[in-house]
Amino acid sequence: MQAHTPVLLDEVLQFLNPQPASRFIDATLGAGGHASAILERTSPDGRVLAIDQDEAAIERARENLQFFGSRLEVVKANFRDIATVAGERGFLGADGILADIGISSMLLDDAERGFSFMREGQLDMRMNRDQELTADEVVNTYGEKEIADILFNLGEERRSRAIARSIVRARPLETTTDLVRAVQRVMGAPRYGKIHPATRTFQALRIHVNDELGSLEAFLDASMSVVRPAGRLAVISFHSLEDRIVKNRFRAPVVAGRVLTRKVVTATDEELRRNPRARSAKLRVWERA
């Protein structure tokens, strides 16, 4: 499996400015790219509390980051519960918080988890495998209108109704391949140079299954009280729906503070050459008063 290259790393470090003896929270540990950079900058005694809801990511990051010993604490949780987790681990008043939301290349590459339209797997799409709702339940049991609304609202898919109808007709769907076929019956085959016809459908289902927008809102509100005064909250998002939520929450915060990124920060050409995944990444940073 390919390692996850941390996106906008220089920019994140510039804004969070980690120093020795400080405490940071990485709310989306993933493969640990950002966390290890923060641990290096806070050496020898700074601490990082890292959260992820995916057990596989946690196991791998624990292994990769062993070197940092007790300076790193890892907790399996949804980041919407950041206040509780931070309270339990002595991280209230943290110097900074980072969230790099979305899916890791590790999850995408794991066919079995069902996130990829390029690989055949179960219709799962749960980031947290203790959760009950799966993509299978959505495509096989939800009403046609409900599916269409999910595709339209969370995937910005213009052919949502036709795709929903095709999904309902194709029941029972068993694998990601069945789902791709149902979508392609409406959208046609993949075309060179265009995004894959199932991209928006997969994205929408994933966001729904994991309640990603609800988690993000709860996380942003909670984090503003978890960072110390003058502490910073940095959020990297990958689609417009998420970025809109971040932008609006930062403008109307539940705790007094100000936006440091008047213009959203995106990857430099140099980074894009090294890491095409950074293409849609958007960083916004907020500072508590």
Ligand X SMILES: C[S@@+](CC[C@H](N)C(=O)[O-])C[C@H]1O[C@@H](n2cnc3c(N)ncnc32)[C@H](O)[C@@H]1O
> How far is Cα 133 from Cα 110, in angstroms, rounded to an integer?
19
Closest CB to ligand X among residues 107, 186:
107
Cβ distance to ligand X smaller for residue 132 or 172 = 132
Q: Which of residues 117-146 bind ligand X (CB under 6 A)?
A: 127
Among 46, 96, 102, 197, binds ligand X (CB under 6 A): 102
User: Does 79 sit near ligand X (CB under 6 A)?
Assistant: yes
Contact, 150 vs 205, CB < 8 A?
yes
- Give the span between the Cα atoms of 229 and 224, in whole angstroms: 9
CA 72 to chain CA centroid, nearest Å: 21
Give the per-residue contact string, 29-68, with ligand X (x = CB under 6 A; - = no): -xxxxx----------------xxxx--x-----------
Q: Do 240 and 269 meet the contact criterion of CB atoms below 8 Å apart?
A: no
Query: Crossing angle, helix 144-155 and helix 160-169, to 10 degrees?
Result: 140
Q: Which is nearer to ligand X, 18 or 102 (CB)?
A: 102
Q: For the purposes of burial, counting CB atoms within 10 Å of the CB of 113, is it exposed (0-12), middle (13-18) or buried (19 or more)?
A: buried
CB of 15 to ligand X, least distance (A): 15
Per CB under 6 A, the list member of 4, 208, 239, 247 interacting with ligand X is 4
Strands (DSSP E) contained in 77-226 are 94-100
Residue in 49, 72, 95, 104 binding ligand X, rule: CB under 6 A: 104
| Segment lying near ligand X (by CB under 6 A), choices 96-104, 144-152, 223-231, 243-251 | 96-104
Q: Which is nearer to ligand X, 27 or 227 (CB)?
A: 27
Pairing state of beta strands 227-237 and 282-288? antiparallel
Rank residues 26 and 178 by Cβ distance to ligand X and give the closer one.
26
Q: Quick check: 288 and 18 in contact, CB under 8 A?
A: no
Applying CB under 6 A, the residues found at the interface with ligand X are 4, 6, 28, 30-34, 51-54, 57, 78-79, 100-102, 104, 127, 215
